Amino acid sequence: MIRADRAISWALPSRIPILNAPESARPFTPEPLPATALKGVGPKLAERLRRLGLCTAADVLLHLPLRYQDRTRLTPIGQLQAGDEAQIEAKVVGSEITARGRRFLLCHLVDGSGVLTLRFIHFSPGQQQLLGQTGARLRCFGEVRQGYNGLEMIHPECQRISPDDPPAPAYLTPTYPTTAGLQQFTLRGLAEQALEQLETAALLPELLPAELRTRLRLTPIAEAVRLLHQPPAATTLAELAGGRHPAQRRLAFEELLAHQLSLRRLRQRMKQQTAPRLTGDGELTGRFLERLPFSLTAAQQRVFTEIAVDLAQPRPMLRLLQGDVGSGKTVIAALAALQAVETGAQAALMAPTELLAEQHYRNFQNWLGELGVEVAWLTGRLTGKARRTLLERLAAGDIQLAVGTHALFQEQVAFAELALAIIDEQHRFGVHQRLALREKGRHSGSRPHQLIMTATPIPRTLAMSAYADLDTSVIDELPPGRQPVKTVALPDSRRDEVAARIRQSCQTGRQAYWVCPLIEESETLQCQAAVATAERLSEILPELRIGLVHGRLPAATKETVMATFKAGQLDLLVATTVIEVGVDVPNASLMIIENAERLGLAQLHQLRGRVGRGAIESSCVLLYRPPLSQVAHTRLAALRECHDGFEIAHRDLELRGPGEVLGARQSGEQTLRVADLLRDQDLLPIARHAADELLRDHPDCIEPLIRRWIGVGARYGEV
Ligand code: ADP
Ligand code: MG
């Protein structure tokens, strides 16, 4: 029977908005001035600005330059050197369009110290006219190159100067990040306009309490913004380029603070929700533990206690479970699910890929089926009547645990009484997708508890920023008897040796993986590479039973191959990176990864985590195609030396940057505007601390800060 009050619809909005937004402005902040209030911003320009995320005049001010050009000085032509970016002022002494070969517009200039040629490959009649006026004075900015007949500038920016024009600008000239159809001078003009109105229209009122600003010695916001758009000529370009200027730090700090506040507020609101109290009697969990062939590690026990306590509360649990590859998170998921089932409610488990969803399904079916728990697999292959029946049983509460991919749960799936949502391998989902999942059931009175599991340990500072809304549990111990996977890197010219090694290992009854990662843009080509590799290996190793899985195989075939491998009826599995996460075959003890130099550190660590899952000594061979780039070399060396997921995550962060580590880049979502999580790491604990203070002592600041930095368009996390 469907109990309407607990029936939860799992519909996701088609576009996931960014974090959350306030419901109304505080009295002391004026309505933000829309960008269209700036002179010259019509509907077309407004649309282009919107593409850059600029909706208000304040947004224009927070859109900071990427870099600066020094046009405050004029360089005499005689002092120019090839390679300089420079500004000159000189007189036109002649111009011509070259007649032979390619058509160029050339213009010759003199300034008393030397001669310079301007060269244009494309030119308009207007330019031709401007440059053709012998005697005219031009101011040009561009890069100096060595031409056939002396120094040249190719396609410089040129401006005609009359004697009473103002001298060169007193400020460094900003270059902004832009989008198609939006010129630098338009952005410069808008920033100038907004700066003029900065105080009069109170575009960026100071929102931080004076006491905090004094204590942290923060530059006033208006001063910071003014400096960054119009740096005085004396400002050190290097400091600006490094992002370490006090003005930049001030804005980065405020932005990080706003994100902290937004996540924390989201958390507060979630915590005000009610959730079903899952106070199981321990009957099922007890029987489950008895049947397990091993006992929980101390870390698993501790983590499960933390979760069990949360689940028994009438408020939704929001917990991130971190644990390195192979640390045994699945057992914890099963225990949490059983606690829901014991209480008569339902649980759902979401995995990032079909393959992983299937493996979880089989695992749970195996473990929990015997205990009389109804487990269902929501697969994409299920259609028509079978699918309808399954959904009906889910809505009626006949199914106690549903397993599927994230995509499947996006569709309309109704539960009778969903009490716990478990999300596996969170790193595959973007930060904001995670928040979106929380929206499930916003129309019902009660929310499910959430357990999010990830094998990508997130460095502490990052975790504080991106997961400020979650409690964290860490499994910091591997099951006993695990040995580090011996890792070597070999040039792929030594494939024969590797084949011999596979033969040897499989003769002792062990199994092996051969991974062909993405080296082509297209999945089809990637699959073809895997097919070819499998064929070649069959020729070299005719005595081995070799299987193949890749993304293009029909799901049923994939499953059969995986099941056969798992049952020990295949010796070697050739695979694309579909096996990257979660696949668990403890008897596999050797992994070969081709083109290892193309993969990221975290991905390599994930792949390698497919072996070394039992007590057998395992190894991993990283095949690369020489020559190795410096970064690739560093990566492979790090993997050889290092077996701890946290350490690897830290190095990965340094090599790749936080956007990718957190998965935001993959999902193409808005990241930070000014702050850079890596560069500004030291600001994170300070922002976190300041967030505590504001929440406690200055709650009025919170709304306007979030509104300033995170925007008003989205309505995320509202309850
Ligand atoms: P992950 O954390 O990467 O998801 P899994 O949950 O897949 O790891 O567990 C990896 C392997 O370790 C599995 O084969 C699992 O059965 C086994 N395992 C989990 N916990 C223990 C334990 N306490 N003792 C021994 N083996 C364990
Ligand atoms: Mg797992």
Q: Write out the E strands in 41-84.
A: 67-69
Same domain, 275 and 145: no
Residue 269: burial class (beta carbons within 10 Å; 0-12, 13-18, 19+): middle
Angle at 408 between CA 403 and CA 409, to 5 degrees: 75
Which is more confident, 92 or 412? Answer: 92
Atom of ligand 1 nearest to the CA of 327: 2
Instruction: Give the pairing of strands 375-378 and 414-415.
Output: unpaired
Q: Which residue's C-alpha comes closest to atom 12 of ligand 1?
A: 328
Residue 430, pLDDT > 50, answer no
How many other CB atoms sit within 10 Å of the CB of residue 45? Answer: 17
Distance 214 CA to ligand 2 centre (A): 48
Range of the domain at 185: 4-68+176-235
Name, of 179-183, 277-281, 334-338, 432-436, the range with top average pLDDT: 334-338
34 CA → ligand 2 middle, Å: 47
Q: What is the pLDDT of residues 136-168, one digit of tens each?
A: 999 999 999 998 889 999 999 888 888 787 777
Cα(638) to centroid(ligand 1), Å: 25
Residue with CA closest to ligand 1 atom 1 = 326
Residue 290, pLDDT above cutoff 90? yes
Last residue of a domain, one of 587, 619, 642: 642
Same domain, 217 and 185: yes
Q: Does 243 sit in the ligand 1 pocket, CB within 6 Å?
A: no
Q: Are residues 160 and 136 in contact, defined by beta-carbon separation less than 8 angstroms?
A: yes
Q: Name the DSSP class of 662.
A: T
| Separation in Å, CA 520 to CA 347, 514, 665 | 39, 17, 20
Same-domain status, 508 and 562: yes
Is omega for the bond preceding 627 within 30 degrees of 0, making it cis?
yes
Helix/strand/coil for 160: strand
Ligand 1 mean position, distance from CA 433 (Å): 27
What average pLDDT does range 558-563 have in this prediction?
A: 85
- Whether 686 is covered by a domain: the verdict is yes
Residues 289 and 437 in one domain: yes
- Ligand number nearest CA of 352 is 2
Helix (H) or strand (E) holding 341: helix 329-342
Ligand nearest to the CA of 324: 1
What pairs with residue 142 in β-bridges?
86
pLDDT at 583 over 50: yes
Looking at the domain assignment, is residue 573 inside a domain? yes
pLDDT at 464 over 80: no
Of 145, 168, 191, which residue sits at a domain end? 168
Q: Which residue has the higher pLDDT, 456 or 137?
A: 137
pLDDT category at 716 given cuts 50, 70, 90 is very low
Looking at 44-53, 72-81, 284-293, 518-527, which range is the least confident one? Answer: 518-527
pLDDT of residue 340: 95
Q: Measuring from atom 5 of ligand 1, which residue has the nearest CA?
A: 328
Closest ligand 1 atom to the C-alpha of 300?
Answer: 23
- Cα distances from 685 to residues 219, 267, 345, 464, 512, in angstroms, run 19, 18, 39, 8, 44
Q: What is the distance in A from the centroid of ligand 2 to the CA of 358?
A: 12
pLDDT band at 452 (very low <50, low <70, confident <90, very high): confident
Do 332 and 378 belong to one domain? yes
- Averaged over 221-246, what is the pLDDT? 91
Pocket test of ligand 1: the residue of 355, 451, 605, 613 to mutate, having most ligand atoms within 8 Å of its CB, is: 613
The answer to whether residues 294 and 307 belong to one domain is yes
Residue 249: alpha-carbon gap to chain centroid: 22
Other beta carbons less than 10 A from residue 509's beta carbon: 11
Give the pLDDT band of residue 217 (cuts 50, 70, 90).
very high
Q: What is the pLDDT of residue 463?
A: 62
Residue 189 falls inside a structural domain: yes
With a 6 A CB cut-off, is 613 part of the ligand 1 pocket? yes
Evaluate: CB of 296 within 6 angstroms of ligand 1.
yes
Please report which ligand is nearest the Cα atom of 353.
2
Kindly indicate the confidence band of residue 21, based on its pLDDT and cuts at 50, 70 and 90.
very low
| Ligand 1 atom nearest to CA at 475 | 2
Residue 459 to residue 6: CA distance in whole angstroms: 37
Q: Judge whether 600 and 456 are in contact, CB under 8 Å.
A: no
Q: Rounded mean pLDDT of 355-379?
A: 89
CB of 300 sitting under 6 A from ligand 1: yes
Q: Among residues 474, 469, 470, 451, which one has the least CA distance to residue 649?
A: 474
What mean pLDDT comes out for the span 200-216?
Answer: 94
**Are residue 297 and residue 263 in the same domain, yes or no?**
yes
Mean pLDDT of 349-362: 83
Alpha helices (H) along 593-682: 601-608, 630-641, 645-656, 658-661
Whether residue 26 has pLDDT greater than 50: no
Q: Is the CB of 397 under 6 A from ligand 1?
A: no
Strand partners, 451: 319, 422
Average pLDDT, the chain: 83
Residue 209, pLDDT score: 96
What torsion, rounded to 10 degrees, do the Cα atoms 238, 236, 212, 659 define? Answer: -20
pLDDT > 70: percent of the chain: 85
| Residue among 288, 304, 322, 327 whose CB has most ligand 1 atoms within 8 A, to mutate | 327
Could you tell me which of 32, 29, 55 has the C-alpha nearest to residue 190?
55
294 and 251 belong to one structural domain: yes
**What secondary structure letter does DSSP report for 609?**
T
Using CA atoms of 45, 48, 50, 54 in order, give the dihedral in degrees to the nearest 10. Answer: -70
Please state at what angle helix 246-272 crosses helix 699-710, rounded to 10 degrees.
110
Mean pLDDT within 287-306: 96
pLDDT of residue 192: 95
> Whole-angstrom Cα distance, residue 703 to residue 32?
13
What is the pairing mode between strands 619-624 and 588-593? parallel
Please give the pLDDT value at position 3. 36
Query: Is the same domain home to 328 and 367?
Result: yes
Top pLDDT among 456 and 624 is at: 624
Q: Is residue 669 part of a domain?
A: no
Tell me whether residue 659 is in a domain. Answer: no
Domain CATH code at residue 163:
2.40.50.140
Grade residue 248 by pLDDT with cuts at 50, 70 and 90: very high
Range name among 80-89, 447-456, 491-500 with the lowest pLDDT average: 447-456
Q: In this structure, what are the phi and psi dihedrals at residue 88, rounded to the nearest 5 degrees?
A: -130, 160
Q: What does the pLDDT average to over 583-608?
A: 86
The total domain count for the chain is 4
Which CATH number does the domain housing residue 456 bear? Answer: 3.40.50.300
Is position 565 within any domain? yes
Statement to judge: residues 291 and 203 lie in one domain? no
- 275 and 423, same domain (yes or no): yes
Taking residues 456-472, report their average pLDDT: 67
Based on the domain organization, do 78 and 148 belong to the same domain? yes
Does residue 399 lie in a domain region?
A: yes
Q: Is 455 in the pocket of ligand 1 (CB under 6 A)?
A: yes
Can you give the pLDDT at residue 687?
92
Cβ 62 vs Cβ 56: under 8 Å: no
One-letter identity of residue 464: M
| DSSP codes of every residue in 272-297 | HSB-------SHHHHHHHHHSSSPPP
Does pLDDT of 89 surpass 90?
yes
Q: Is 370 left (phi over 0), alpha (psi -120 to 50) or beta?
A: alpha
Query: What is the bridge-based pairing of β-strands 173-175 and 67-69?
Result: antiparallel
For residues 239, 243, 245, 247, the Cα torsion angle rounded to the nearest 10 degrees is 150
- Ligand 1 center to 424 CA (angstroms): 14
Cα of 365 to ligand 1 centre, how many Å?
16
Nearest ligand to residue 322 Cα: 1
Residue 606 pLDDT: 82
pLDDT at 5: 33
For residues 267-281, average pLDDT: 86
Q: How far apart, in Å, are the Cα atoms of 504 and each of 130, 512, 568, 607, 652?
A: 78, 11, 16, 22, 34
CA angle 241-245-248, nearest 5°? Answer: 90
Question: Is residue 655 one of the residues assigned to a domain?
Answer: no
Q: Is the pLDDT of residue 331 over 70?
A: yes
Side-chain-side CA neighbours of 281 within 13 Å: the count stands at 4
Ligand 1 pocket member 330 (CB < 6 A):
yes
Give, as residue ranges, everything with CB less than 5 Å from ion ligand 2.
582
The pLDDT assigned to 363 comes to 87
Query: Is the Cβ atom of 28 under 6 angstroms away from ligand 1?
Result: no
Q: Tell me, in angstroms, the distance from the centre of ligand 1 to residue 613's CA.
A: 7
Q: Which atom of ligand 1 is nearest to the CA of 329?
A: 2
Residue 671 or residue 707, greater confidence: 707
Q: What integer is the mean pLDDT of 46-57?
A: 92
Q: At which of 168, 201, 219 does a domain end?
A: 168
> If pLDDT is split at 50, 70 and 90, which confidence band does 22 have?
very low
pLDDT category, 427, cuts 50, 70, 90? low
Distance 678 CA to ligand 2 centre (A): 28
Least confident of 13-17, 136-140, 437-441, 645-649: 13-17
Percentage of the chain surpassing pLDDT 90?
45
The confidence band for 49, taking pLDDT boundaries of 50, 70 and 90, is very high
Lowest average pLDDT, out of 145-154, 206-215, 412-421, goes to 412-421
Side-chain half-sphere CA neighbours of 226 within 13 A: 13
Grade residue 417 by pLDDT with cuts at 50, 70 and 90.
Answer: confident
CB under 8 A, 24+ apart: contacts of 230-233: 230/171, 230/172, 230/174, 230/192, 230/195, 231/68, 231/171, 231/172, 232/170, 232/171, 232/172, 233/70, 233/72, 233/73, 233/170, 233/171, 233/172
Q: Which of 387-391, 465-469, 493-497 has the lowest mean pLDDT?
A: 465-469
Structure tokens at 280: 């199981």
Residues pairing with 153 in the sheet? 118, 144
Letter for the amino acid at 339?
Q
- pLDDT at residue 433 tops 90: no
| Average pLDDT of span 276-302 | 94
Mean pLDDT (whole number) for 697-710: 91
pLDDT above 60 for 712: no
Does the beta carbon of 426 lie inside 6 Å of ligand 1? no
What is the number of the ligand 1 atom nearest to the C-alpha of 613? Answer: 11
Neighbours of 39 (CB within 10 A): 7
